[in-house]
Structure 1
Amino acid sequence: MDLQLAGGLGRVRQRDDLAKPMGEGWTVTDFETHVRDEYTTFGWIIERMLEEAGFVVETVERSSPVTTAYVCRKKCSS
């Protein structure tokens, strides 16, 4: 996993803050495997990608733990 594509150091810290010890929840390795091998993208990755692509996220609707809808607007060039 390219950590820069995943949002840089701030996002790595977020992943590390959320990770749990083995047997208590998702470990750092679990998070890395989930993104790398299962092709699932966490919301914070998608949101950063949208921002980097020049969009402003207007609304986020999470209809289930695995389904999220984003309404975005393209930033105006000045």
Structure 2
Amino acid sequence: MIIPTKHQNIKLNPMVLGADILFLLRKEDFTMEELYQSIKITNSIDLDSFYDTITYLWLIEAITIDKNKISKKNNVS
């Protein structure tokens, strides 16, 4: 899932999508819907890939989700 195969589109890989999401979260916090709509404009992803990527970012503690707001952690250890 995380490491792309040679047949997979690299732009739809969770690590690449995660980098795009973290780039958007660098400036401001988003709700789930706002973030999905923003990332869907640049990358044509489906909702499952979006939630997989959000889960991945949350598991590696790169983002926090509080009261439906997603924010990027500044000091990731």
Note whether the superposition's TM-score is higher than 0.5: no
- More contact order relative to length (CA 8 Å, sep ≥ 6): 2
TM-score w.r.t. the length of structure 1 is 0.28
Which has a greater percent of helix? 2
Which has a greater percent of strand? 1
Of structures 1 and 2, the larger Rg is shown by 1
